[in-house]
């Protein structure tokens, strides 16, 4: 038969040995009586070092800091705190006071849970989360639904891009600067069978002529001063199996045009300073805002290269040729920049006409940049026409001479004029809002007033 005291001793030993947490038992003076064996890995000291020592001394030695036992002795109640240990670990320590029948503090038991791993995991998780956010943003940018398509013209292009994406034919995007040629080129790649392979974009106007060959074709080691020791593959080689997108191809110097044509015909590259031919397999997309046919006539662009590129020309119209897209794009950019800058700006209805009537010589890029500026600089939540650049502000007042009074449906009385404006605002709100409550918010009037006015003007909030 074992004595109860012996059994208790065995039980305590078993608990100390088997616990994942480190357990330390100290007396009423803070002298350590027992410690579990895992103290070596947490504190860097074994049981024999700790037992008999005061927690105050160990705190001074920075074996652990701060001491939870010392705090319990002071406060006479359970305490939880974070400790740093001599081995550089972060520990969550819980100190529990033990009182006798006379309510005297006789022991302090502390449980220390090593959080180092958890902290590291938290850091890793945080890093991964940031990376994920970054990639998510990149994916979002590339997603086809991030191309705003409202007008019939854009819808036609979108369908055509989808259709030609399935083939390997060379596509040439034409159109003014900023109309969205790059956006369509990327989307074409993303919808093509090569979508999981590289999309290599080369801005032909950004590479100096002297570097063009080495950038495009790569170079062998030591082929020129400043070249990397190991040599480097060119952009064409990097596009192998994927898509090579030559942006602003009209800027390509004539001497380079001949070299490029050779690669397009033979699908082989030789790195600068090398002799080995490397076969490349890429799909070619090009874009230009120049009139290549005219350049051919002027002898500035090679005719043979022009025909090579001109297999499927796709013309992306300027923004002024598809005004239906303007407001939709504006709303899209407003949402994008509200998110980016954590704002909650909205367009005051009176701004719409200004945006639609302006000619946008810089096309979608100009619109995008302007909205980013407005989101950052407008003083109020609502973005009013006054915040627009002067060139855009003046637009609604401009009445072209051929616009007759009847054409503009001029109201003959003030009441009629007010009603006409009211109806226009309602139609606009109905188009953009899903509920009459949203419309009320948008128009700055009450919801019952919205309902009343919808009825008065025969505007259907759901169908508009
Ligand atoms: N339909 C669209 N939907 C959403 N964003 C668009 C759309 N069209 C263009 N953009 C945006 O407008 C900006 C200009 O577009 P992009 O660079 O594709 O024009 P581009 O015609 O290739 O211009 P450049 O000839 O100067 O290279 C980009 O930030 C792009 O994301």
The parent domain of residue 29 ranges over: 4-118
In a domain, 298, yes or no: yes
181 in contact with ligand 1, CB cutoff 6 A: yes
How sure is the predictor about 23, in pLDDT bands with cuts at 50, 70 and 90?
A: very high
Q: Are residues 331 and 432 in contact, defined by beta-carbon separation less than 8 angstroms?
A: yes
Cα-based torsion angle of the residue sequence 416, 418, 424, 426 in order, rounded to the nearest 10 degrees:
-120
Q: What is the pLDDT of residue 119?
A: 77
Does the pLDDT at position 462 exceed 70?
A: no
End residue of a domain, out of 398, 421, 447: 398
Average pLDDT estimate for 333-352: 91
Cα–ligand 1 centroid distance for 367 (angstroms): 10
Closest C-alpha residue for ligand 1 atom 23? 178
114 in contact with ligand 1, CB cutoff 6 A: no
148 in contact with ligand 1, CB cutoff 6 A: yes
State both tokens at 338.
């509200």
DSSP for residue 407: T
Q: Are residues 198 and 238 in contact, defined by beta-carbon separation less than 8 angstroms?
A: yes
Do 179 and 310 fall within a single domain?
yes
149-162 pLDDT tens trace: 889 999 999 999 99
Percent of the chain with pLDDT over 70: 90
- E strand map for 86-152: 90-99, 105-114
Assign residue 418 the CATH number of its domain: 1.10.10.60
Q: What is the pLDDT of residue 188?
A: 94
Q: What is the pLDDT of residue 142?
A: 55
Assign residue 365 the CATH number of its domain: 1.10.8.60
Cα–ligand 1 centroid distance for 246 (angstroms): 15
CA atoms of 169 and 282, how far apart (whole Å): 10
Residue among 176, 180, 181, 248 to mutate when testing ligand 1 (max atoms within 8 A of CB): 180
Q: What is the pLDDT of residue 401?
A: 38
How sure is the predictor about 229, in pLDDT bands with cuts at 50, 70 and 90?
A: low
Burial zone of 54 (CB within 10 Å; 0-12 exposed, 13-18 middle, 19+ buried): middle
In a domain, 129, yes or no: no
Do 225 and 362 fall within a single domain?
no
In a domain, 132, yes or no: no
Arithmetic mean of pLDDT over the chain: 86
Cα–ligand 1 centroid distance for 311 (angstroms): 22
Measure Cα distances from 24 to 88, 147, 278, 350 in Å: 19, 63, 69, 72
Q: Which atom of ligand 1 is nearest to the CA of 247?
A: 27
How sure is the predictor about 127, in pLDDT bands with cuts at 50, 70 and 90?
A: confident
Do 157 and 306 fall within a single domain?
yes
Do 393 and 350 fall within a single domain?
yes
436 in contact with ligand 1, CB cutoff 6 A: no
Do 394 and 421 fall within a single domain?
no
| Number of domains comprising the chain | 4
Assign residue 24 the CATH number of its domain: 3.30.450.20
In a domain, 203, yes or no: yes
End residue of a domain, out of 81, 102, 118: 118
In a domain, 131, yes or no: no
How sure is the predictor about 143, in pLDDT bands with cuts at 50, 70 and 90?
A: low
In a domain, 149, yes or no: yes
Q: What is the pLDDT of residue 444?
A: 82
Does the pLDDT at position 19 exceed 90?
A: no
- E strand map for 100-219: 105-114, 171-174, 199-203, 218-219
Cα–ligand 1 centroid distance for 291 (angstroms): 19
Does the pLDDT at position 464 exceed 50?
A: no
In a domain, 123, yes or no: no
End residue of a domain, out of 292, 317, 342: 317
Cα–ligand 1 centroid distance for 347 (angstroms): 22
Do 188 and 313 fall within a single domain?
yes
Residue among 182, 320, 334 to mutate when testing ligand 1 (max atoms within 8 A of CB): 182
Assign residue 168 the CATH number of its domain: 3.40.50.300
Do 108 and 223 fall within a single domain?
no
In a domain, 124, yes or no: no
Do 307 and 330 fall within a single domain?
no
CA atoms of 156 and 161, how far apart (whole Å): 9
351-404 pLDDT tens trace: 988 899 899 999 999 999 999 999 999 888 889 888 888 778 765 544 433 343
């Amino acid at each position: 038969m074992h004595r109860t005291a012996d059994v208790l001793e065995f039980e305590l030993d078993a608990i100390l040995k088997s616990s994942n947490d480190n357990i330390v038992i100290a007396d009423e003076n803070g002298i350590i009586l027992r410690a579990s064996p895992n103290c070596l890995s947490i504190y860097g000291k074994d049981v024999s070092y700790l037992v008999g020592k005061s927690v105050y001394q160990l705190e001074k030695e920075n074996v652990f800091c701060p001491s939870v036992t010392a705090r319990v002795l002071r406060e006479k109640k359970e305490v939880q705190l974070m400790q740093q240990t001599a081995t550089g670990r972060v520990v969550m320590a819980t100190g529990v006071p033990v009182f006798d029948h006379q309510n005297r503090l006789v022991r302090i038991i502390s449980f220390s849970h090593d959080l180092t791993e958890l902290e590291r995991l938290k850091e890793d998780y945080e890093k991964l989360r940031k990376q994920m956010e970054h990639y998510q943003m990149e994916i979002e940018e590339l997603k086809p639904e991030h191309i705003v398509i409202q007008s019939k013209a854009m819808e036609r292009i979108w369908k055509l891009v989808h259709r030609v994406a399935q083939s390997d034919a060379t596509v040439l995007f034409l159109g003014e600067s900023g109309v969205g040629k790059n956006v369509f080129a990327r989307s074409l790649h993303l919808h093509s069978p090569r979508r999981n392979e590289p999309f290599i974009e080369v801005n032909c106007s950004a590479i100096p002529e002297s570097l063009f060959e080495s950038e495009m074709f790569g170079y062998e080691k030591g082929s020129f001063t400043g070249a990397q020791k190991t040599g480097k593959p060119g952009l064409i080689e990097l596009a192998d199996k994927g898509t090579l997108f030559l942006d602003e191809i009209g800027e390509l110097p004539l001497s380079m045009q001949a070299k490029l044509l050779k690669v397009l015909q033979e699908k082989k590259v030789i790195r600068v300073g090398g002799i080995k031919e490397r076969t490349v397999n890429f799909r070619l997309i090009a874009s230009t805002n120049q009139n290549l046919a005219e350049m051919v006539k002027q002898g500035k662009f090679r005719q043979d290269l022009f025909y090579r590129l001109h297999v499927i020309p796709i013309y992306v119209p300027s923004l002024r040729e598809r005004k239906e897209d303007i407001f939709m794009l504006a709303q899209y950019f407003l949402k994008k920049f509200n998110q980016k800058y954590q704002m909650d700006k909205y367009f005051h209805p009176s701004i719409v006409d200004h945006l639609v009537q302006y000619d946008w010589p810089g096309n979608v890029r100009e619109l995008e940049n302007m909205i980013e500026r407005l989101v950052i600089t407008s003083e109020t939540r609502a973005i009013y026409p006054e915040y627009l650049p002067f060139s855009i502000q003046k637009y609604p007042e401009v009445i072209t001479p051929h616009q007759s009074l009847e054409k503009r449906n001029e109201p003959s009385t003030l009441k009629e004029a007010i009603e006409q404006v009211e109806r226009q605002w309602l139609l606009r709100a109905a188009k953009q809002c899903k509920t009459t409550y949203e419309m009320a918010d948008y128009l700055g009037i009450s919801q019952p007033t919205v309902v009343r006015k919808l009825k008065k003007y025969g505007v259907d909030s759901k169908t508009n």
